[in-house]
Amino acid sequence: MYDQFYNLKAEPFKLSPDHRFCFSHRSYAKAKAYMQYAFQRAEGFVMITGKPGTGKTTLVSDLVESLPADKVNVAMLVCTQLEADDLLRMVADAYGVPSDTDRKSAILQQLTKVFTDAYKMGRRALLIIDEAQDLSTSALEELRLLTNLQLNRQPLLQIFLLGQEELRDMVQQPNMEQVHQRLVAACHIQPLKEEETKAFIKHRLKQVGWNNDPAISEAVYPVIHKISHGIPRRINMICSRLFLHGCVEELHQLSINDAKVVLTEIQHEQLTSKNIPSDIDFEAEDLYEKPELASVETLADAKESKKKV
């Protein structure tokens, strides 16, 4: 809706992960470098953690997109409190192995054959487990056993674990020592800093052809950062509502007062657990960055010009 009003090529603030909009901030870039390093090692576990909405799924999608399809066989699972047997069957299904048998050994044999055949053809097996903090201890141990599958002393399967902060605590438990020792790399994605929040918003807008319409007041960015805690998904939700508000009101400038209106609505709808900033945060002066190439005439300016004519 608002993307058409503002002549944008697409909606820039969707909540669903989209690696095409990935913003390589400091923490994100570090995590991606760790994953690339670990992928080159071709063994063990890689663990990426972060609060919900910080971009873990976007990160791994970005990495997978950069991998040559003829060199890697990727399977991705989203786990919800799976036990060992169920997880093994899900892994088998993901790699095209029939799992309708009670014989675990038969499933393991078929998986080993699939991984071995792929390895001989120059394709590596990469298993990505999202929401891995929901895995049971037995399921994590089952994954460790899968990393034991080898051919000529070369591992046949590598596993990336993506999860919330609790995953780190799970892996560090004494009974998870063998899993912990298999970690090749581990990284935690941090929320965006205030200056990164502004850069994140502008990055997503530029991806869809934004030309400073609507112009965004410099006073808006600190408030968005404060209410979102620097979590990208929350930033997207706030910005989407702010742009929708601008579209409905036919605004070509988004002011600090517009941000206050939108954040108040969001709080009343209980879409955020944090109170809106205090009134003093909304007393900042509205300043608008000038477009790099040509100035964008606001609706108010246009009306004023017509009056003079």
Grouped pLDDT means (10 residues each) for the chain, 309 residues: 94 89 90 87 90 91 87 87 87 90 88 94 93 91 91 91 93 91 91 96 95 95 94 95 96 95 86 62 83 47 45
CATH 1.10.8.60 corresponds to the domain 192-303: yes
Tokens matching residue 71 = 């060199």
**Token pair 């599958």 in the structure block, residue:** 149
**How many Å apart are CA 45 and CA 39, to the nearest integer?**
10
Q: What are the structure tokens assigned to 218, written together? A: 């410099």
Structure tokens at 27: 């923490």
Contact 223, 263 (CB under 8 A): yes
Check residue 226 and give its pLDDT.
92
Q: Where are the domains of the chain?
A: 26-189, 192-303
Quick one: DSSP state of residue 249? Answer: T
DSSP letter at 159 equals E
The C-alpha R_g of the chain, in whole angstroms, comes to 24
Pair of tokens at residue 191: 């929320």
Q: Report whether 187 contacts 37 (CB < 8 A).
A: no
Is residue 159 classed exposed, middle or buried when 0-12, 13-18 and 19+ CB atoms within 10 A define those classes? buried
pLDDT at 309: 40
Q: What's the confidence (pLDDT) of residue 153?
A: 87
* Predicted local distance difference test score (pLDDT) of residue 296: 42
What pTM value is reported for the model? 0.84
* Other CB atoms within 10 Å distance of the CB of residue 161: 26
Going by C-alpha positions, the residue among 198, 121, 160 that lies closest to residue 37 is 160
Regarding the domain with residue range 26-189, which homologous superfamily does it belong to in the CATH classification? Answer: P-loop containing nucleotide triphosphate hydrolases (3.40.50.300)
pLDDT at 35: 86
Give the span between the Cα atoms of 3 and 213, in whole angstroms.
Answer: 11
The pLDDT of residue 295: 40
Amino acid of residue 21:
F
- Distance of alpha carbon 12 from alpha carbon 7, whole angstroms: 12
The whole-number pLDDT of residue 291 equals 65
Angle at 17 between CA 12 and CA 21, to 5 degrees: 45
DSSP-assigned letter for residue 277: P
Residue partners of 109: CB distance under 8 A and separation at least 6: none
Position 241, amino acid:
R
